[in-house]
Amino acid sequence: MKFELTEYHHNISDQALLNDVAHVARVLNKSSLTKKEYAQNGQYGVETICRRFGSWLKVLDLCKLESNQFQLAAANSSHLYTAISNRDLLDDIIRVSKILGKESFSSREYNDLAKYSSSTVFKRFKAWNNALVKAGLRPYKQVSEKRIETTTLFEEIERMWITLGRQPTVSDIKNGYSKYALNTFSRRFGGWRNALEAFVDWIENDTQVIDIKTDQSVGDDTLIQERDFPPPIKHKTKRDINLRLRFLVMKRDNFKCCICGASPAKDSEVELHVDHIIPWSKGGETVIDNLQTLCSKCNWGKSDLLE
């Protein structure tokens, strides 16, 4: 299977950008649209659109969409924007902490589940850790990017790609989908596009998709018949499924469960696994033709049974 990156959006017309915003609003069945909602569902970068038209409010107006009171208040610096109390912000941080199951997390992780913007938190408390401490949580310790292995960054790209069901974008990282900052990828690879190209090259060129040929050799039938137990299974591959092979299988299966069709792109609660079709315990090998994508529920239900 050949992996190809999506093309750059060169010379996209203003109308094409507006059409995509209007399309997302129709799909979500909403009369208004936030930047975060578009970033999660749109085809283009939300900041690119804002730079093209001057502001998100202008984009909504051109698309004949409504602006909610908080968008208008933020644009006009009215009292509604500052009506959010410090207690509201801290309670929301605590709420996100419970969802994540963590007593310490980054502002990017917060943005993915937040009711409010992390920029508002920064303005109120001057620093993200100040807000965490005020909320009764532990300060967040940023891991030095020099200590992050390149393979770890590839694993994060793979996680985002699987979760989103598509190639992750700069906007996805800015909106908190990544555990690591955009600068971490840019400094390591020279830019986000270069990071994606390095990841695809790593997946394509370093993955060895093994094709197991059936062993036609015939053993001693008499000896086999005399045994009271089956001979031990001699595997030609390791049981563990490495990152590259796992990604190839999920990509082939369109990041969906092969049994029920569940996908994390549609339901964030869905967790995908790669499973041996013929179980390892029954002689199945770790090869791409014997692997399939299953959600955690279907995988647990299947166990090691042969259909």
Region 272-301 average pLDDT: 84
Tokens of 141: 């310790």
- Domain check: are 172 and 130 in the same one? no
Region 211-233 average pLDDT: 42
Q: Is residue 219 part of a domain?
A: no
Q: Is residue 278 part of a domain?
A: yes
Between 37-51, 74-88, 111-125, 172-186, the lowest mean confidence (pLDDT) is in: 74-88
Q: Is residue 7 part of a domain?
A: no
* Domain end point (choices 27, 58, 76): 76
User: What's residue 47's pLDDT?
Assistant: 78
Q: Is residue 202 part of a domain?
A: yes
- Domain check: are 72 and 95 in the same one? no
122: pLDDT confidence band, cut at 50, 70 and 90?
Answer: confident
Cα 98 to its chain centre, rounded Å, is 20
Instruction: Work out the percent of the chain whose per-residue pLDDT is above 70.
Output: 78
How far is residue 15's CA from residue 57's CA, in Å, rounded to a whole number?
A: 16
Cα 82 to its chain centre, rounded Å, is 33
* Domain end point (choices 153, 188, 206): 206
- Domain check: are 111 and 149 in the same one? no
77: pLDDT confidence band, cut at 50, 70 and 90?
Answer: very low
- Domain check: are 53 and 32 in the same one? yes
User: What's residue 90's pLDDT?
Assistant: 93
User: What's residue 126's pLDDT?
Assistant: 84
SS3 of 302, please?
helix
Is the confidence at residue 119, as pLDDT, over 70? yes
Selected residue with higher pLDDT from 191 and 216: 191
Type of residue at 102: K
- Domain check: are 93 and 123 in the same one? yes
Residue 27 to residues 24, 47, 73, 245, Cα–Cα distance (Å): 5, 21, 26, 34
220: pLDDT confidence band, cut at 50, 70 and 90?
Answer: very low
- Domain check: are 130 and 149 in the same one? no
Mean pLDDT of the chain: 77
| End-to-end Cα separation, the chain, in angstroms | 28
User: What's residue 134's pLDDT?
Assistant: 93
Is the confidence at residue 284, as pLDDT, over 80? yes
Q: In angstroms, how far apart are the furthest CA atoms of the chain?
A: 90
The reply to whether the predicted model has a pTM over 0.85 is no
Give 66's DSSP letter.
B
Region 202-209 average pLDDT: 62
The number of folded domains in the chain is: 4
User: What's residue 121's pLDDT?
Assistant: 86
Per-residue 3-state assignment (H helix, E strand, C coil) for 126-189: CCHHHHHHHCCCCCCCCCCHHHCCHHHHHHHHHHHHHHHCCCCCHHHHHCCCCCCCHHHHHHHH
213: pLDDT confidence band, cut at 50, 70 and 90?
Answer: very low
User: What's residue 22's pLDDT?
Assistant: 93
Residue 61 to residues 32, 50, 57, 169, 294, Cα–Cα distance (Å): 10, 12, 6, 26, 43
Between 70-74, 107-111, 163-167, the lowest mean confidence (pLDDT) is in: 70-74
Q: Is residue 9 part of a domain?
A: no
Highest mean pLDDT, choosing among 1-10, 34-43, 45-54, 285-294: 285-294
- Domain check: are 103 and 123 in the same one? yes
Q: Which domain holds residue 111?
A: 84-134
Q: Is residue 281 part of a domain?
A: yes
208: pLDDT confidence band, cut at 50, 70 and 90?
Answer: very low
- Domain check: are 92 and 68 in the same one? no
Q: Is residue 223 part of a domain?
A: no
User: What's residue 231's pLDDT?
Assistant: 56
User: What's residue 1's pLDDT?
Assistant: 40
Q: Is residue 43 part of a domain?
A: yes
In which residue are the tokens 């062993």 written? 215
- Domain check: are 26 and 55 in the same one? yes
* Domain end point (choices 206, 222, 247): 206
How far is residue 275's CA from residue 295's CA, in Å, rounded to a whole number?
A: 10
